[in-house]
């Protein structure tokens, strides 16, 4: 298995945020983690990136156990995260924000090529290349943080609520970009989304969270017509 979360548990103080969660994916897949706010989706991502320590369980990526590694080593293994909230460096230019994503790399020619690729993927960023990141719109900042994560040359990309607070038209643009990143570059993707309709439309498989546990899992196309999913989760619009 390319990536596997095995029966993980994690707490915030004495509160159990994630209980016995197991997730797996093959190389090249996009999987979605859907569910209400506070259901444990983002906590699972934080555990994968080493930002939150497990109380039980294991996390494996391409034969390497991640849950004992510090966050910077996890990035070096090929795992990059786009956090919720469009966390740009507001006083730095678009260019410098993007280059910050390559901080673990020393291959200058490949970095330059990847920078050109990101600008081709997100033409708005090329138009605002020298502009301070804090002056961009919400949708443009989301493109910037996705681009910054791609500059790490990831093999596994984690996206935490990329549609949150974004205008509907830009949500469509970002959704298409996620599909293209997965399809054209072979980057495996774990997508956390409250917009379940969008997440199920662009993923191969999905896990539906409820109060820290996985309630339902399956092939995304089939889950879109599952009455349980339609009733509980399909509130977003694509």
What pLDDT digit, counting tens, does each position of 75-111 carry? 999 999 998 877 899 999 999 999 999 988 889 999 9
Q: Which helix (H) or strand (E) holds 182?
A: helix 168-185
Written as six digits, the tokens of 120 are 């081709």
pLDDT digits (tens, 9 = 90+) for 8-40: 999 988 888 999 999 999 999 999 999 888 889
> Which residues share a beta bridge with 217?
207
| Helix 168-185 with 108-121: angle, nearest 10 deg | 140
Give 36's contacts (C-beta < 8 A, 6+ positions apart): 194, 209, 210
pLDDT above 90: residue 234: no
Opening angle at CA 67, ends 62 and 68, nearest 5? 110
Average pLDDT, the chain: 92
233's tokens: 């989760």
Instruction: Out of 3.90.1210.10, 2.60.40.1120, 3.40.50.300, 3.50.50.60, select the CATH number for domain 3-87+153-232.
Output: 3.40.50.300
Which residues neighbour 152 within 8 Å (Cβ) at sequence distance 6 or greater?
Answer: 75, 80, 101, 102, 104, 105
Mean pLDDT on 164-172:
84
Residues 155, 192: Cα–Cα separation, whole Å: 17
d(CA 8, CA 44): 9
Structure token pair of residue 175: 């959704």
- What is the percentage of the chain residues whose pLDDT exceeds 90? 76
Model confidence at 238: pLDDT above 50: no
Q: Helix (H) and strand (E) counts for the chain?
A: 10, 10
Domain segments of the chain as ranges: 3-87+153-232
Q: Is the pLDDT of residue 197 over 70?
A: yes
Do 206 and 45 touch, CB atoms closer than 8 A? no
Provide the 3-class DSSP secondary structure of residue 22. Answer: strand
The yes-or-no verdict on residue 51 having pLDDT over 70 is yes
Q: Is the pLDDT of residue 165 over 80?
A: yes
């Amino acid at each position: 298995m390319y990536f596997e979360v095995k029966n993980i548990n994690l707490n915030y103080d004495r509160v159990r945020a994630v209980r016995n969660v197991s997730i797996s994916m093959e190389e090249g897949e996009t999987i979605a983690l859907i569910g209400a706010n506070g259901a444990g989706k983002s906590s699972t991502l934080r555990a994968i990136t080493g930002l939150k320590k497990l109380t039980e369980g294991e996390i494996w990526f391409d034969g390497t156990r991640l849950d004992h590694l510090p966050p910077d080593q996890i990035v070096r293994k090929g795992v990059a995260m786009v956090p919720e909230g469009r966390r740009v460096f507001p006083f730095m230019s678009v260019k410098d924000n993007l280059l910050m994503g390559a901080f673990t790399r020393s291959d200058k020619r490949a970095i330059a090529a990847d920078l050109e690729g990101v600008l081709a993927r997100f033409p708005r960023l090329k138009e605002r290349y020298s502009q301070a990141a804090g002056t961009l719109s919400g949708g443009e900042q989301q493109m910037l943080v996705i681009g910054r994560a791609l500059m790490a040359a990831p093999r596994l990309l984690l996206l935490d609520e990329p549609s949150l607070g974004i205008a509907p038209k830009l949500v469509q643009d970002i959704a298409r970009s996620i599909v293209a990143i997965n399809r054209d570059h072979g980057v495996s993707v774990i997508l956390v989304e409250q917009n379940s309709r969008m997440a199920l439309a662009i993923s191969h498989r999905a896990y539906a969270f409820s109060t820290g546990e996985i309630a339902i899992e399956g092939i995304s196309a089939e889950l879109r017509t599952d009455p349980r999913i339609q009733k509980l989760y399909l509130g977003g619009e694509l």
